[in-house]
Amino acid sequence: MGRVRGRQWALGAVALVAAASAGIGAAGPAGAQERGATLRIAVTQEVDSLNPFLSYTRTGTDILRTVFEQLNTASAADMSPEPGLAERWEPAEDKLTWTYTIRQGANWSDGQPITAEDVAFTFDLMLTDEVARTANGSYTANWESVTAPDERTVVVKTKTPQTTMTALDIPIVPEHVWAGVDVGAEPAFPMVGSGPFVVTEFKESQYTRLRANKSYWRGAPKVEGIDFVYYKNSDAAVQALRNGEVDLVNGLTPTQFDALAGDADIERNNAKGKRFNELIMNPGAATADGQPIGDGHPALADARLRRAIAQAIDTKTLVDKVSGGYATEGGGYIPPLFSTYAWTPPADKARRFDLAAANTALDAAGYARGGDGVRVDPASGRPLDLRIMLHASKTFDTQSAQYIQGWLRDIGIATSLQAVSDNALNEATTGGAFDLVYSGWNGNPDPDYILSLQTCAARPNADGKGATPDSFFCDPDYDRLYAQQAAEFDPAKRAEIVKRMQEVLYDQAPMTILTYDNALEAYRKDRFAEFTVSPQPDGFIMNQQSYWGYYSATPLAGGAPSNTGTVVAVVAGAAVLLGGAVAFVLTRRRKATADDRE
């Protein structure tokens, strides 16, 4: 975007907004393709990073899965492991040594051959560099060594048996590009990858442009590329779908989803999703070596308080009133879609919504009410006045927070709502600068990664790097069970351990699972044929465990033309609310990108 003065840039933004409001086509990414040749996707979550070692948000990982092939990918049918860059794999009898045979004839997008040395380089980087372990370090934490005895063979030795070796969710990077560069920096464009698409452009809070990888070993995609276009909220994204500015959108609200039912040019998709919404309660944020960080309310270190907060939240109301019935009530940490590992609290342990019981529990724990009705922490003497941080762009957060604020008031807890950008929320969470915060994750077919988020090792170093913290939970019993499940190859025994882990989380309540979202999506069926969903037959298109939804995109011959070019995200949001967009332009914090790196 360049370094321009704030006043000049703001005036330019106002002009663009005025043009969009007047129905004049807004400028899109340079070199935009004809409609249908490019799949345009609306997203409402900002990209946290396009560095495959750092990105862990839904949008970032969704994009990177199309760019970097993994050793094993998830099948479209049932998300079970199937060959990716590795044609086959073989464990030793003791399950400590794994040998992977790398696919012959596969090339990087720049034409260089993909070899075992690239795989070994990627894994060695994660073994030796703390920053490289930020997003997916749980997979390599138990590894002893990685070698590449020849161009097609990779040998991984683990310290103890590791059941996730057939489902390593690790992007493989090209050694000839990444050797000698700062592993923590944002990549240069075009990115050199091995998947069906290549990232060629990125504008923060605006768009990410991908072009088809013509040398992809499965065969080139049927589209010329994909544009992920950022919109400030789902209303703007849905309007863009109706107007023909984009072709595919997910994360629809129930009202939006229902409203699209009568549009002859739009196909809807309602699938059981793999994502959950959670409200995290800061149990005492600390670094990996136990040094306290952040500014969370000290009372939240008390599990009795956390359990009372969880009991004061009516998840059925959230499903009915906020999610319009397109969700399932929260319970265990693993979404019900993954039925092998999903856990439901038994009747004798379930915390049913009960404000009277929550009040009684707080009375018994010594949290007396002050003269204003707000309870006081008996240890610190501080009132229970808690901040609730939420995603400004998420309708679920903004609507459900109103209910939660009221319920907590009824049990003597005052709250203030702080709606912030996705990236600001991520930074605050990583730094422990929160009391209560909305979060959520997409589950995986193998539960190891999402379970690892609650281990002591998931806490960051003093610089806020080296791990992916969620709640800052740290419990020795949970860590012991985590190690057990990671080494258990008997599916039934492993499932029982995973369920016991979820019992620990439920009892200690570092978070409460609010809802499991349905995946509400819609696409322009006048421009694109039916997409491959996963899992089949009733799965989702976007945010899959692999890339089948995007790779299957097939333009229809003679599809309807677009009304405008791809809309830059700031303009798209501004068309909905001019004043808010200009304020966003003037105040948004800029991170370094390929265009303004010094």
Beta strands in 392-510 (DSSP E): 414-420, 436-442
Q: What is the pLDDT along the chain (598 residues), one digit of tens a residue?
A: 232 323 233 333 333 333 333 332 333 454 444 556 999 999 999 999 999 999 989 999 999 999 999 999 999 999 999 999 999 999 999 999 999 999 999 999 999 999 999 999 999 999 999 999 999 999 999 999 999 999 999 999 999 999 999 999 999 999 999 998 999 999 999 999 999 999 999 999 999 999 999 999 999 999 999 999 999 999 999 999 999 999 999 999 999 999 999 899 999 999 999 999 999 999 999 999 999 999 999 999 999 999 999 999 999 999 999 999 999 999 999 999 999 999 999 999 999 999 999 999 999 999 999 999 999 999 999 999 999 999 998 999 999 999 999 999 999 999 999 999 988 998 999 999 999 999 999 899 999 999 999 999 999 888 777 677 899 999 999 999 999 999 999 999 999 999 999 999 999 999 999 999 999 999 999 999 999 999 999 999 999 999 999 999 999 987 666 554 444 433 344 333 333 333 333 233 323 322 332 2
Number of H helices, E strands in the chain: 17, 17
What is the per-residue pLDDT for 562? 55
Which residues have CB under 8 Å from 24's CB, separation 6+?
none
Q: How far apart are CA 374 and CA 371, in angstroms?
A: 7
Distance in angstroms (rounded) separating the CA atoms of residues 169 and 446: 10
User: What pTM, to 2 d.p., does this model score?
Assistant: 0.82
Beta strands at 248-249 and 38-43: parallel, antiparallel or unpaired: parallel
Residues 129, 164, 67: CA angle, nearest 5 degrees = 60
Q: How far apart are CA 68 and CA 70, in angstroms?
A: 6
The CA–CA distances, whole Å, from 178 to 136, 175, 189, 213, 320 equal 17, 5, 13, 19, 49
Report the run of H or E that residue 81 belongs to, with start and end.
strand 81-83
Domain 6-49+195-247+527-587 has CATH 3.30.70.20: no
Question: H helices of 212-253, where?
Answer: 234-243
Report the pLDDT value the prediction gives residue 141, as an integer from 0 to 100: 94
pLDDT score at 574: 38
DSSP, collapsed to helix, strand or coil, labels residue 458 as: helix
The residue with tokens 């044609």 is 87
CB hemisphere CA count around 82 (13 angstroms)? 11
Residues 229, 207: Cα–Cα separation, whole Å? 4
Q: What is the three-class DSSP state of 30? A: coil
**CA distance linking residue 448 with residue 160, whole number of Å:** 15
Residue 327 has φ and ψ, to the nearest 5°, of -165, 175
Contacts of residue 102, defined as CB under 8 A and 6 or more positions apart, other chains included, come to 85, 86, 87, 114, 115, 116, 119, 151, 152, 153, 154
Q: What is the pLDDT of residue 583?
A: 34
- Per-residue model confidence (pLDDT) at position 597: 23
Residue 211 burial by Cβ neighbours in a 10 Å radius (0-12, 13-18, 19+): buried
Query: Are the C-beta atoms of residues 546 and 65 closer than 8 Å to each other?
Result: yes
Is 560 in contact with 526 (CB distance < 8 Å)? yes
Cβ–Cβ contacts within 10 Å for residue 360, how many?
13
Strands 97-102 and 86-91: antiparallel
Determine contact, residues 181/191, Cβ cutoff 8 Å.
no
Nearest in space to 276 (alpha carbons), one of 460, 512, 84: 512
Specify whether the CB–CB gap between 239 and 404 falls below 8 A.
no
Rg of the chain over all Cα atoms, to the nearest angstrom: 24
pLDDT of residue 511: 98
Q: How many CA atoms lie within 13 A of 510 on its CB side?
A: 25
Distance between CA atoms of residues 306 and 118, nearest Å? 46
Q: How far is CA 73 from CA 82, 199, 280, 289, in A?
A: 5, 20, 31, 34
Q: Where in the chain is the domain with CATH 3.90.76.10?
A: 72-178
**What residue type is 208 in one-letter code?**
T
213 alpha-carbon distance from chain centroid: 24
DSSP single-letter state for residue 23: T
Phi, psi of 288 (to 5 degrees): -60, -25
Question: Would you state the pLDDT for residue 272?
Answer: 93
What is the CB neighbour count within 10 angstroms for residue 349? 9
Q: List every span in the chain annotated with CATH 3.10.105.10.
A: 274-517
DSSP label at residue 264:
T
Question: Which part of the chain has CATH 3.40.190.10?
Answer: 6-49+195-247+527-587
CATH class of 72-178: alpha beta
Topology, domain 274-517? Dipeptide-binding Protein; domain 3 (3.10.105)
